[in-house]
Amino acid sequence: MRILGIDPGYGITGFGLVEAQRGKFQFLRCGAITTPAGMDFSARLEIIYEDMKKLLELSKPDAVAIEELFFGQNVTTGIGVAQSRGVILLAIRQAGVPVFSYKPMQVKQAVVGYGNATKHQVQDMTKRLLNLSAMPKPDDAADAIAIALCHGRSATSLIAKAINNS
């Protein structure tokens, strides 16, 4: 199963593509969609949307895993990220690819085995699971890879298989 992980944002949207088969993972590629600060916000959303359409066309994923939003203390930033996530979801929907959302704690639990793991622990375990010599940059791309791994571990689990077969 080819899984595209997405870490949504409006300045930087990270993406990571992995292949998952029988509990084993292979890193394929990662990167980021970026928009310039100071640009009209609607133009930034258009760039994200158009680049996401191209990314979906080129990567041909079987599934997309995207992080759910966590607002924390900066609600203003969260609103912009939510709008970015909306155009990303629209592009995914139009491409006809199944999409799955994961909370940050779910990603940490799936990758590290501990829902309160630090960002460094998630990146270290991601690097180990994929046999990478170094963690890809930017951090948003590394986070997207972890989101893809989370889906791979969830989708290939025995419980998920049992649910899908019933």
**Catalytic residue ranges:** 7, 67, 140
Q: How far separated are the first and last CA of the chain, in Å rounded?
A: 20
Instruction: Give how far Cα 100 sits from Cα of 37, 42, 128, 133, 138, Å.
Output: 29, 25, 24, 29, 23
Tokens of 8: 């949504």
Please give the Cα distance from 106 to 127 (Å, whole number).
Answer: 18
State residue 9 phi and psi, 5-degree precision. Answer: -170, 170
Residues paired with 45 in a beta bridge: none
